[in-house]
Structure 1
Amino acid sequence: MKLVEKAIIFAAMAHKNQTRKGTETPYVTHPFAVGMMLQGAGCSEEVVAAGILHDTLEDTEATYDSLVKEFGAPVANLVVAASENDKSLSWEDRKQHTIDGLKDASMDELQVIVADKLHNLRSIRTDLEEHGEVIWGRFNRGKQKQHWYYASIVKALAPRKDAFKLIGELEKEVRKVFGFVEL
């Protein structure tokens, strides 16, 4: 079985019965969309698989060792890079850690992280259009903090914008959702 097909099955089982924040949408639609976005951007099979698996360590019972066994260390390490590993930290500290890590991230790591954030923002925009500002109540932090987080990611990625087309798409999405990038 191909790596991506295996990742789809693994993610579907791992995220079974989970839904997206504040919706009835099956959670697995998010990692699938991230993987397909990466595939459409011409990323490697390992990056696509990691995109599909990117939330398994953070949000399911899956372990690093199980990912290594099923998909190999390179894919498992990409999943680790896209995960918030220390849930004991505050929301702000976890997000700052993600932002700070972008400058040293490999291109493969960056691709998974950017596709994840881009799909999250596109989902937020769709929900905003459908339900209005009330959607910000679904999140651990409201609109202002979400704006800070996504704008900070875009700013951190600015020097690498030409290296991966989805970085430009992420910047456009931040502008659509929040109106501007600069804070």
Structure 2
Amino acid sequence: MSGMTGYSDRINHAFAFAAKHHDQQVRKGTRLPYLTHPANVAVILTRYGCSDDIVVAGVLHDVVEDCVRDGMTRDMLEERIGRKFGSSVLTTVLGVTERRTDDDGIDLSWEDRKEDYLQRLSLANSDALWVCAADKVHNANSILSDLRRTSFPETVWGRFSAGRDGTVRWYRRVVDRLREVGFDAPIVDELEAAAAELESV
């Protein structure tokens, strides 16, 4: 990609917004700043030639889910994202945001949150399906690279409440669900390869 001048102002603005909201957060079980994850999601989406809107949503995809704190409510975060980045970006972000409570305000368990997420992918637009796939590609590949670097795989699996089997099954279920809802972009093959490798390690 010669002659590429880097990210657009909007994408850089999204990074600044995400950095502010993810401040002090780290990746599960590591000392890596949380922002390394949305940054990698942006790289993956850019690699597939996705639009600015999709890349911006990729950078912001965890803000609503993870940054309700310091007096910021979910509604406030949603309003700010919509105002700064537009309603289509907000719709995409909400399409891949796990809900912690159901429509009646009842807290969802880990399993129910995952089930709800998979169900809602049938309502998501294709921009959200791209972000979902890129998010899972980076997460699955992060687990694989951590497993390759350690002699103690149980420490890697121990970060996840679902343990090894539940975590591996989750990635397989996302692949299957993306195919079920008719999303067959090449990134799904990349995710499937990572899921298959997780199953084999």
Per the normalisation by structure 1, the TM-score is 0.92
CA apart distance, 1:103: 2.9
3-state DSSP of counterpart to 2:41: helix
Percent sequence identity is 37
Correspondence for 2:42? 35
Which portions of structure 1, spanning 4 or more consecutive aligned residues, are displaced by more than 3 angstroms? 159-162
Contact 1:161-1:168 within 8 A present in 2 as well: no
Please list every run of 5 or more consecutive structure 2 residues that lacks an aligned counterpart in the other structure.
1-7, 102-106
Instruction: Give the superposed CA RMSD.
Output: 1.6
Contact 2:27-2:33 within 8 A present in 1 as well: yes
1:109 lines up with 2:128 in the alignment? yes
3-state DSSP of counterpart to 2:121: helix
Match of 2:197 among 148, 162, 176: 176
Name the CA shift for 1:109/1:161 in 2 (closer, same or farther; >3 Å): closer
Greater helix percent: which structure?
A: 1
Query: Structure 1 CA distance, aligned partners of 2:146 and 2:9?
Result: 34
Please list every run of 5 or more consecutive structure 1 residues that lacks an aligned counterpart in the other structure.
none
Query: Structure 1 CA distance, aligned partners of 2:187 and 2:154?
Result: 26
Correspondence for 1:70? 84
Correspondence for 2:4? none
Name the CA shift for 1:91/1:7 in 2 (closer, same or farther; >3 Å): same
1:60 lines up with 2:67 in the alignment? yes
1:25-51 CA-to-partner distances (Å, cap 9, x unmatched) read 111000011011111111110100000
Match of 2:175 among 118, 130, 154: 154
Per the normalisation by structure 2, the TM-score is 0.84
1:79 lines up with 2:93 in the alignment? yes
Total equivalences in the alignment: 179
